[in-house]
A and B are shown apart, each in its own frame.
Chain A
Amino acid sequence: MRFTRRAAVAVVGVAALLAASACGSSDGSSGGGSGSKKVEVFTWWADGGEKAGLDGLVAQFGKDCAGQEFVNGAVAGGAGANAKNVLASRLQQSDPPDTFQAHAGAELQDYIKAGQVEDLSADYDTWGLKTAFPAGLIQNLTVDGKIYSVPANIHRANVVWTNKKVVADAGITDDPKDMASFIADLDKLKAKGIKTPLAVGKDWTMLMLLESVLITDLGADKFTGLWNGTTDWNGADVTKGINDFKTLLTYTNTDRDALDWTDAEKLVMDGKAAYQLMGDWEAADMDAKKFADYGWFTFPGNGDTYQWLADSFVLPKGAKNVDGTKCWLKTVGSADGQKAFNTKKGSIPARIDASPADYPKYQQAAMADWKTFKQVPSCAHGSGCSQGFQGAANSALGAFSTNQDVAGLQKAMATAASQFAAK
């Protein structure tokens, strides 16, 4: 009995000691942060062209911001879903990274509304960014007169990527210009033994495809309206768009729900599919994978629309190393930084003073288009939709993949729009 009591006291003592040491260590780590020269950059760029772009940016950061140390806080996972989860919990715990990646546009508004990011308008003036970026982009970035993020790049979503050999073997010489000729080409490929000429992956990649079809069937202005609440999702033109989308799905691989975009890309590279609709990061990724025989065209019927999305960096409220973060943001917005990043990632610079000669041929074409085309946002990539809207849309597309219920998808999107759009 005496022994057990002594043991009990010992156990309690050890527990108390452990608790004390645990508190002590956490105090130490948070206290050490204030004078830190480390800049933790939180992204979802963990491999492929994205990682190469980040490395380029880091090299430039090393030159521009001597004395600051880059800390990679990348979290891998398709379209950033995993990273966003980690970020959300860190912001909840008031433990933000020094800067984080966020899609510019509607998605950033979630953070702005929550008061989680700082106003950068004054720095835009200091760094001369208001004249370096096109006026249209500045206008898109401005929320209630303030700018909260520095875009590192511009991507385009409505591009179809092709396997040139497969397309040529089917006797297709011209890029399709409208939905009818696109479907005729898909039929030709099918007749040549390409069972699934159009490669697609899980929910969000199908959402991208649906968006492109809707741009064709509704036109740029009405399409933009779908995401800000001015176009009715219940309209007959939307029904036609969803039916066209359903037709296109019959040309796609049936295992789409199990594939990420890189798996679908592999179908194109392996010649099992001829086409894939994907953002223009696919160019850099195919280059990195040493696949040179690819072509591209704007989604049939999209005409002069540039469905844009941008990755941008922000200054979170409560960042530990504000000077370091501002230096990072300055690098991101600078001509050298944008060049270092975009030549590797396969995107184009948001700046209009960049020299096209520095870029590969796809980007040269895209840079020319960026200045003259009509801009529309992308829901799947956050320039058009808040995260809630994206989540509902992805879920609806996931359901449509198996049930093929046109009315059901239309109703789901209409409900989601009334719930999330334009609030």
Chain B
Amino acid sequence: MRRLRHWGPGLLLLSPSLILLAIFVYGLIAWTTKMSVSDQHTALKSNGFVGLDNYKNLFTNDIQDRFVHSLRNLLIFTVVFLVGAMLFGLIWALILERGVRAEGFFRTIYLFPMAVSFVASGVVWRWLMNPVVGDGAGGINALFASLHLDFLQNKWWTNPTWGMAAMAMPAIWQLSGYVMALFLAGFRGIPQELREAAAMDGASTYRLYRNVIFPQLTPVALSALIILGHMSMKMFDLIMSVSGPQWLTEVPAVYVWQTLLTSDYAKAAAISIVLLLLVAVVIVPYLIYTNRAEKNS
């Protein structure tokens, strides 16, 4: 009885969210998994078990390797997005950390894009990344033309090979500020004594950052990478509003939507599970790592 009083209230407090999680997250994952090994390719009920056929077909038997193509698009998008956002975020944080005038003002400016939804910024970037080159150019291409930088004009996201790199630009624009905020918090968390000690030892500014400050930012950088990485893999709204669903810019999340539209539930479920596994590959080791780090400290 006493033990119940000990953990009872806590459990009671947690139970609503536990129940909701059990049903709406884990229950639905289980349901999706079950769907992905069935043969429900139409809206008709049919619950035949087909094992891993749906997965095999995705990788080996999809028309024009559509799924592999969407994975390749996702890879390019993710790499460019991560590198770009981390780089800009770090540079901005460094500049602000070195002490600029009106720091608060710039911090706000850099952070603001994050407040905009991907859908809203996607619509604007759709116009900015107008793929017409030469006469009748619009958006950034028109800007290049008026600056006599015509050689910089390009087809943006309609480029068949590197289009997804252009697609990552709005995402970089939106989330660099967030990475900056994370790094800035990291910088501010480093005790002043360490800097003073390094200065006493005669370390140059470069050595101070290289050997004292950056090593302490590793956990921040890792968190930023994980957060951006899992956002990137689930990217849907930005692509839908910039290009709409189409072959050129298709990523797995968009493919799921397109497949659902044609009532191919089993295939959509299989893609969703592949996507879930991809994200899990990134997230789970991170969770284990942070768990261990917390226990050790």
Interface membership of A113, Cβ < 8 A? yes
- The 8 Å CB contact of A412, one of B63, B244, B250, B257, is B63
State the CA gap A374–B263 with chains docked (Å). Answer: 32
State the CA gap A84–B131 with chains docked (Å). Answer: 28
A81–B245 touching, CB < 8 Å: yes
A114–B66 touching, CB < 8 Å: no
Give how many B residues have a beta carbon under 8 Å from the other chain's beta carbons: 37
Instruction: Identify which of residues 1-58 in chain B touch chain A, using a CB-to-CB cut-off of 8 Å.
Output: 9, 12-13, 16, 42-44
Instruction: Identify which of residues 1-29 in chain A touch chain B, using a CB-to-CB cut-off of 8 Å.
Output: 5, 8-9, 11-12, 15, 19
Known: A81-B245, A387-B263. A415 touches B63 (CB 8 A): yes
State the CA gap A50–B168 with chains docked (Å). Answer: 36
Interface membership of A408, Cβ < 8 A? yes
Instruction: Identify which of residues 74-114 in chain A touch chain B, using a CB-to-CB cut-off of 8 Å.
Output: 78, 81, 84-85, 88, 91, 110-111, 113-114
Across-interface contacts of A8 in B (CB, < 8 A): 9, 12-13
The closest CB in chain A to the CB of B248 belongs to: A257
Instruction: Identify which of residues 239-268 in chain B touch chain A, using a CB-to-CB cut-off of 8 Å.
Output: 243-248, 250, 257-264
Interface membership of A300, Cβ < 8 A? no
A114–B42 touching, CB < 8 Å: yes
B245–A88 touching, CB < 8 Å: no
Interface membership of A396, Cβ < 8 A? yes
The closest CB in chain A to the CB of B240 belongs to: A82
Chain A interface size, under 10 / 10 to 19 / 20 to 34 / 35 or more: 35 or more
Contact with A along B213-244 (1 / 0, CB 8 A): 00000000000000000000000000000011
Known: A8-B12, A12-B13. A391 touches B258 (CB 8 A): yes
Known: A110-B43, A110-B263, A412-B63. A203 touches B247 (CB 8 A): yes
Interface membership of A30, Cβ < 8 A? no
Interface membership of A178, Cβ < 8 A? no
Interface membership of A135, Cβ < 8 A? no
Interface membership of B99, Cβ < 8 A? no
State the CA gap A12–B16 with chains docked (Å). Answer: 8
Identify the interface centre among B64, B155, B258, B261: most chain A CB within 10 Å of its CB. B64
B64–A85 touching, CB < 8 Å: no
- The 8 Å CB contact of B261, one of A81, A254, A398, A402, is A81
B257–A85 touching, CB < 8 Å: yes
B63–A392 touching, CB < 8 Å: yes
A202–B13 touching, CB < 8 Å: no
Across-interface contacts of A255 in B (CB, < 8 A): 130-132, 155, 158
B247–A5 touching, CB < 8 Å: no
Across-interface contacts of B245 in A (CB, < 8 A): 81
State the CA gap A406–B157 with chains docked (Å). Answer: 23
State the CA gap A195–B132 with chains docked (Å). Answer: 13
Contact with B along A390-423 (1 / 0, CB 8 A): 1110111111011100001000100110010000
State the CA gap A104–B160 with chains docked (Å). Answer: 35
Across-interface contacts of A202 in B (CB, < 8 A): 244, 246
State the CA gap A15–B14 with chains docked (Å). Answer: 11
Interface membership of A364, Cβ < 8 A? no
State the CA gap A12–B17 with chains docked (Å). Answer: 11
Nearest chain B CB to A275's CB is how many angstroms away? 18
Nearest chain A CB to B4's CB is how many angstroms away? 14
Contact with A along B190-212 (1 / 0, CB 8 A): 00000000000000000000000
Nearest chain A CB to B191's CB is how many angstroms away? 32
Interface membership of B189, Cβ < 8 A? no
Across-interface contacts of A203 in B (CB, < 8 A): 246-247
Interface membership of A128, Cβ < 8 A? no
Instruction: Identify which of residues 176-195 in chain A touch chain B, using a CB-to-CB cut-off of 8 Å.
Output: 195
A403–B160 touching, CB < 8 Å: yes
State the CA gap A255–B66 with chains docked (Å). Answer: 22
The closest CB in chain B to the CB of A396 belongs to: B64
Interface membership of B136, Cβ < 8 A? yes
Q: How many A-B residue pairs have CB under 8 A?
A: 103
B131–A395 touching, CB < 8 Å: no
Across-interface contacts of B135 in A (CB, < 8 A): 195
Across-interface contacts of A11 in B (CB, < 8 A): 13
- The 8 Å CB contact of A113, one of B44, B247, B259, B260, is B44
B263–A399 touching, CB < 8 Å: no
The closest CB in chain B to the CB of A403 belongs to: B160
- The 8 Å CB contact of B12, one of A12, A114, A116, A388, is A12
- The 8 Å CB contact of B64, one of A12, A81, A412, is A412
B131–A396 touching, CB < 8 Å: no
Interface membership of A258, Cβ < 8 A? yes
The closest CB in chain A to the CB of B245 belongs to: A81
The closest CB in chain A to the CB of B255 belongs to: A395
Instruction: Identify which of residues 137-194 in chain B touch chain A, using a CB-to-CB cut-off of 8 Å.
Output: 155, 157-158, 160
The closest CB in chain B to the CB of A255 belongs to: B131
Across-interface contacts of A19 in B (CB, < 8 A): 16
Across-interface contacts of B261 in A (CB, < 8 A): 81, 84-85, 88, 387, 391
Across-interface contacts of A320 in B (CB, < 8 A): none
Nearest chain A CB to B17's CB is how many angstroms away? 9
The closest CB in chain A to the CB of B242 belongs to: A258
State the CA gap A145–B1 with chains docked (Å). Answer: 70
Nearest chain A CB to B97's CB is how many angstroms away? 38
State the CA gap A34–B32 with chains docked (Å). Answer: 33
Interface membership of A164, Cβ < 8 A? no
Interface membership of A344, Cβ < 8 A? no
State the CA gap A397–B64 with chains docked (Å). Answer: 11
B43–A116 touching, CB < 8 Å: yes
Interface membership of A272, Cβ < 8 A? yes
A395–B63 touching, CB < 8 Å: yes
Identify the interface centre among A386, A391, A412, A415: most chain B CB within 10 Å of its CB. A391
Known: A202-B246, A257-B158, A257-B248. 10 other contacts (CB 8 A): A5-B9, A113-B42, A114-B42, A254-B131, A255-B130, A257-B131, A388-B264, A395-B258, A401-B247, A402-B158
Q: Can you give 22 A-B contacts (C-beta < 8 A)?
A: A5-B9, A8-B12, A85-B260, A110-B42, A113-B42, A114-B44, A114-B263, A255-B132, A255-B155, A257-B131, A258-B243, A387-B263, A391-B262, A394-B247, A395-B66, A395-B250, A396-B64, A396-B247, A398-B248, A399-B247, A402-B158, A402-B248
Give B residues with C-beta under 8 Å from A.
9, 12-13, 16, 42-44, 63-64, 66, 69, 126, 130-133, 135-136, 155, 157-158, 160, 243-248, 250, 257-264
Give A residues with C-beta under 8 Å from B.
5, 8-9, 11-12, 15, 19, 78, 81, 84-85, 88, 91, 110-111, 113-114, 116, 195, 202-203, 254-255, 257-258, 272, 386-388, 390-392, 394-399, 401-403, 408, 412, 415-416, 419
